[in-house]
A and B are shown apart, each in its own frame.
Chain A
Amino acid sequence: MNILETKNLHKIYDEKTVPVHAINGINLTIKKGEFTAIVGPSGSGKTTLLNMIGGLDKPTEGEIIIEGIKIHELSPHKLTDFRLRNIGFVFQAYNLIPVLTAEENVEFIMNLQGQHKAIREKRTIELLEAVGLGDRLHSRPGKLSGGQQQRVAVARAIASKPKFVLADEPTANLDSKSTENLLDMMEKLNREEEITFIFSTHDARVMKKARRVITVDDGIIVSDETK
């Protein structure tokens, strides 16, 4: 079952002097339960691709269809709502709201979705325990290590029960130990809860954990391997 499909995706950044062709025709389908890494050299278009898939940016040409909805045609307001209900995000850094505790950060997104307090609280604790932070519920992001912060971000990303989670270089700021922890945890969530992950990375060790590796260069897919 395809949850995501892109058709002939193009993205041209209109720099004043020279237009930058960041994505040059990408056709991609993602199925439920995938654990996919997008790799490629710097400037190859990974972030651009993920941003478009995530509905943060609009393609210059082509279509992005998530469960039958052409998301690039949605109004900004609808799109925000769509992201809230369908897509989980983990960014490279500064993911969390600094004034909220780990628990509140996770709860926040369910609050935005309008879920009941009881449900929110229960799920928050479950999730934070699942990412191994059951004992740091009340710490603010500033008091957590980079790896812990990213784990809270993952917990938040799946708290909203999204169709898939997008993570743009989630491990770029982490040391190798934390990187491994984070990936193991993501993999476990993928395996046990069938959560779809799409992440970009530079890191060969991260790449190895992925079951499908899509290599991009100059805005096109140069290889797509599934283990």
Chain B
Amino acid sequence: MNTYIKLAWRNLWRNKRRTIITSSSIVFSVFFACMMRSMQEGSYDSMIGNLVKFYSGYLQVQDTAYWEEKTLENSLEYDSALIAQIAGIEDVLLITPRLESFALSAYKENSKPVFVIGIEPEKEDRIIKLSQKIVKGNFISALDDGVLVAEGLARFLKIDTGDTLVMISQGYHGVSSAGKFAVRAVFKHPAPDFNNNMVFLSLAAAQNFYSAQGRYTSEVIMVEDHFDVKPAKKVIAGLLPPNKTVMTWNEMHPELMSMVEGDRAGGFIMLWVLYGVIGFGIFGTVLMMVNERRREFGVINAIGMQKVSINLMLFFEIILLAFLGALGGLVLTTPAIWYFYLHPIPLTGDIAEAMAQYGMEPYMFFSIRPVIFIIQAATIFGISTGIALIMMISVARLKIIKALRS
């Protein structure tokens, strides 16, 4: 075995130039593929992260009818026993009730429809870290009757902390509701959409405003990370009465998930093309290498080396070549991606505005998920194994006499 690896290694360096060019092509493709995939996954992570960590949470318990029809009629009654049970589940870090609805907000002659979320401030803060996003004013407490206004909205309404926001809406059972709320703070939401229309207030104040005493629309559940979502969902689903359901973050954002999938698929196609082209290049090179060495293979087969062993040697050669390239690519990519992961590239100008219109933060985010890198290495390995197999057939069909004459 060792002999074959040694032979393979030396054979690789027989034609240094060719080996370097071929492995550079692999380095190039791995580098490019990693960068692109990392950027893609990074931007998905940031989009999803903004939604999960600053809005929906990983899981929510809702009334079965609520998802289809988001009205207060489909809200839930407070059930402390159930909440305690869910909170007791091992994976669950936190569970907090919310009352979500819409309202028309107004300040002086300006008005704007807003997205209203009634929260238990203290718990919610541990999920969405709201208090850290405050740019002016103070965070609210559980019994506060004031509101937190998103920065973009505040700018539009020309409202500031201390001013009074008027909100009009439709409450539980269709009751008209109207209320005045002191603005306690202005916060900045990273997602532009939310930044332009979000209002937080205490759960009690929201229930009061919507005449929905003791009711809430959803229980937001936080787990450690997305790996825990599925198991937690299973356990929670088992606890729920038939009129309640548990939804995961990806079920709650089907459009985003479908866009992510579409975009990812587009990226994969590009990478397949790239790898296809690189694969052909490697194939061509290996083919030349094998053809050049037909006589040599003939001689070593004649003196008694089995074709299987020749193939094994050839296999090691090709795999080593691929390994060199993949390793080089990863060595080149990892520090770059690590750096950009810690320092996302800020975007300015047209592209930033365009991204804002799509509800994205104007940054080029990178992901350092190992799977991105592993997949590239595996792809290269797969391609070279395929090529090695084709070459093995050619060696298996080698005729000694012919080879010796060449």
Contacts and interface: CB of A to CB of B under 8 A. Distances in A.
Chains A and B share a contact (CB less than 8 Å)? yes
Interface of A: 51, 54, 56-57, 76-77, 80-81, 83-85, 87-89, 91, 94-95, 97-100, 108-109, 111-113, 156-157, 160
B11 A99 contact: yes
Given A98-B14, A100-B7, A100-B10, A109 B304 contact: yes
B354 interface: no
A160 B304 CA distance: 10
B401 interface: yes
Interface of B: 3, 7, 10-11, 13-14, 295-296, 299-307, 309, 400-401, 404
Given A51-B404, A77-B306, A100-B7, 12 more contacts: A80-B306, A83-B302, A87-B304, A97-B296, A99-B7, A99-B13, A99-B14, A100-B10, A109-B303, A112-B304, A112-B309, A113-B304
Listed residue (B299, B301, B304, B401) with the most chain A CB atoms within 10 angstroms of its CB: B304
Contacts, number: 61
Given A99-B10, A100-B10, A111-B3, A84 B305 contact: yes
B296 A56 contact: no
A83 B400 CA distance: 13
A81 B296 contact: no
Mostly, the B contact residues are: helix
B393 to A, nearest CB: 15
A98 B293 CA distance: 10
A46 B171 CA distance: 106
Contacts of B11: 99
Contacts of A98: 14, 296
Contact of B304 (A81, A97, A99): A81
A16 to B, nearest CB: 16
A142 to B, nearest CB: 10
19 contacts: A51-B404, A56-B302, A56-B400, A57-B401, A80-B304, A80-B306, A81-B304, A83-B302, A84-B304, A88-B303, A91-B302, A94-B299, A95-B299, A97-B7, A98-B14, A99-B10, A100-B10, A108-B3, A109-B303
Contacts of A81: 304, 306
Contacts of B404: 51, 56, 91
A60 B11 CA distance: 37
A65 B262 CA distance: 69
Given A51-B401, A91-B404, A112 B10 contact: no
- Among A57, A81, A97, A160, chain B packs the most CB atoms within 10 A around the CB of A97
Nearest to A159: B303
Interface centre among A85, A111, A157 (most CB of B within 10 A): A111
A106 to B, nearest CB: 11
Nearest to A85: B304
A98 B295 CA distance: 12
Contacts of B7: 97, 99-100
A83 B3 CA distance: 20
A156 B303 contact: yes
Nearest to A109: B303
Contacts of B401: 51, 56-57
Contacts of B299: 89, 91, 94-95
B302 A54 contact: yes
A12 to B, nearest CB: 14
A124 to B, nearest CB: 14
B400 A89 contact: no
Nearest to B309: A112
A33 B309 CA distance: 32
Nearest to B10: A99
Given A94-B296, A98-B14, A98-B296, A89 B302 contact: yes
Contacts of B309: 112
A109 B300 CA distance: 9
Nearest to A88: B303
Chain A to chain B: the 4 pairs with minimum beta-carbon distance, closest first: A84-B304, A99-B10, A83-B304, A56-B400
Contact of B305 (A76, A91, A95, A112): A112
A109 B302 CA distance: 11
Nearest to B401: A57
Contacts of B307: 76, 80
B300 to A, nearest CB: 7
Most buried by A among B3, B13, B306, B400: B400
| Most B Cβ at <10 Å: residue of A109, A112, A156 | A112
B303 A83 contact: yes
Contacts of A89: 299, 302-303
A175 to B, nearest CB: 23
B406 to A, nearest CB: 10
Contacts of B13: 99
